[in-house]
Chains A and B, each alone.
Chain A
Amino acid sequence: MRILWTLWKREVASAFQTPMAWVILFFLLLVTGFNFYAGVTVLNHGPTEVTVVESFFNTIFFWFAFLLLFPLLTMRLFSEEYRSGTIEPLMTAPVRDSQVVMAKFLGVLFLYSVLWLPTGLYFAIFWWQTHLSAAGALGAYFGSYFLLFLMGMFYLSLGCLCSSMTRHQITAAVMTFALISLFFLTGLLSFLAGHTGSFMQGITIMFSPIDQMTQFSRGIFDSRPVIWYLAMTALCLFLTLQSFQARRWRS
């Protein structure tokens, strides 16, 4: 546990000691800030069917920034250690492979969570200025951020897997982006499923982050995505561990 804590601290510190985390944070806030502004502006044009929270978490700006986040956050995790050779002192210290994988994952998950924290300010400001809640219910805030966290777990673990496979950050980033897009876009294929209410359409909607977000940002909780994301995260982390251990046989 102490080893994990030590490794985790270094992961988090290294993200903030390099400009990377700050640059990502800056641009994420820029994009989401504009996104929030747009969502509020819509209200000026008359009544709408969606709340600010619902629109905030479901625009093209939001999803675009969201998808780009993962390759950027995860690409260096393992690749950088392979390339610079720091993996050698790291793995000749008495640490387990699993501790390194968990520390890297938990470190980047923490960083990811921290990146989203300031966006809560938008809703606080909204309430402060209008004395109105930006969402229909309190559960909508929790639901949105909870789903964001869950999706983050899965996509970050996918990024860990890609990074553990190569010493080239760019390769890792491209693989991560491609895989995440694959999972993300599958949900958009519901139009292929023929008539509404068919089994295939049910499946695609269930896996569609956009549809999931529509639900969660209304404060509606569905346990299926929760289980899906947790299981996929576990699977990706397991595969990451395998790929990380395989480096010994590749070299």
Chain B
Amino acid sequence: MISVKGLTKSYGSTDAVRDLSFSVDRGEVVGFLGPNGAGKSTTMKILCGYLPADAGEVSIAGFNIFSQSLKARSRIGYLPENVPLYPEMRVGEYLAYRAALKGVRSRRIAEKVEDALQLCNLGHVQRQIIGTLSKGYRQRVGLADALVNEPDILILDEPTIGLDPGQIREVRSLIKGLATRHTILLSSHILSEVEMTCSRVLILNKGQIVATGTPAELRESSGLSLSGVVRLEVQVPDAGATLKALQELPHVASASLVGRTGEWSTYEIIPSAGDPRPVLFEEAVRRAWKLRELSARESSLEEVFTSFVTGGTAQVSLSEDPRS
């Protein structure tokens, strides 16, 4: 549905987006993740036909956003960052106006507006003047606007920014509900949000994609999948000898004794490559150790993200997006 090739855009001498390529398939919910100033909003503005690009191609539902802009734009529902709205208009009136602008037929406008109001839970403020609405409601009006002509693609720039936790939950569940009918590209700098709503994540830093994949794939490709720590708790007579034995096992970079209560010893093992847990288990069976804990702490997407953005492990083989 969305295909971007070699997109480049600079403001003066600073590159906002450099040679960006990715694609989003029908029905996908893709999260754009990156720190502030990574080029998320710029990319979205280009995708919606608001900004021109310096180089590159963007195709929206098969239409080139630059040469067939009107057709491409009519396929997109866009929620801009900070949701600018006309403060003097009423909610229902605004949505009807937007529907007409987006080419919804006159006799279907009332029905579509009603649908959008229902979906975004705005029915009771339909007659209210937008300028008097709270931030959460304004956000929902923006979403309703994006949805009102039932576009194929939704592009949502920071849909939950500035909302309170309850509203964030509401908007997230709304987005999840929309995923069945729309292709969604949303941006965020909140990782848990992307993890909860998106089937695929693009991590953007300094105008370039540094990683892409499902949240699980990203954990793996970051090399942080086990976060460096496997805990093992076994009953052994000699803690020191066991430690030495553990250190000689494959997939184990180093091991250390972190606690001993009676005969129960707790070790933390830093894996070298791959997962050392099966080997540890076999070793325990072979030596007839009683095993009480064998666990790996999975790294959060937060750590994955930090590792990519700070460039610490960004050189680790990144999973290239096969579609781009």
Contacts and interface: CB of A to CB of B under 8 A. Distances in A.
Interface string A68-104: 0000000000000000111111111111100000000
Contacts of A14: 86, 88-89
Contacts of B78: 89, 92
B70 A89 contact: no
A93 B102 contact: yes
B262 interface: no
Interface residues of A, number: 26
A93 B79 CA distance: 11
- Chain B contact-residue range equals 20 to 34
A76 to B, nearest CB: 11
Contacts of A249: 52
Interface in B46-88: 48-52, 70-71, 73-74, 76, 78, 80, 82, 84-88
B18 interface: no
Contact of B88 (A6, A18, A92, A248): A18
Contacts of B82: 85
B80 A95 contact: no
Contacts of B264: none
Given A88-B50, A88-B80, A251-B51, A95 B85 contact: no
Contacts of A85: 80, 82, 84
Interface stretch (B32-40, B93-101, B276-284): B93-101
A149 to B, nearest CB: 27
A119 interface: no
B84 A89 contact: yes
Contacts of B52: 248-249
B73 to A, nearest CB: 4
A7 interface: yes
Given A89-B145, A248-B52, A94 B80 contact: no
Given A2-B100, A7-B101, A85-B80, A92 B48 contact: yes
A248 B51 contact: yes
Contacts of B80: 85, 88-89, 92
B172 interface: no
A44 B305 CA distance: 86
Nearest to A90: B101
B84 A10 contact: no
A94 B86 contact: no
A162 to B, nearest CB: 22
A86 B101 contact: no
Given A89-B145, A248-B51, A10 B85 contact: no
21 contacts: A6-B97, A6-B100, A10-B97, A13-B89, A14-B88, A17-B89, A86-B85, A86-B86, A88-B84, A89-B78, A89-B85, A89-B98, A89-B145, A92-B73, A92-B76, A92-B80, A94-B70, A94-B71, A94-B74, A95-B101, A96-B70
Interface of A: 2-3, 6-7, 9-10, 13-14, 17-18, 84-96, 248-249, 251
The 5 closest A-B pairs by CB, nearest first: A85-B84, A94-B74, A92-B48, A6-B100, A17-B88
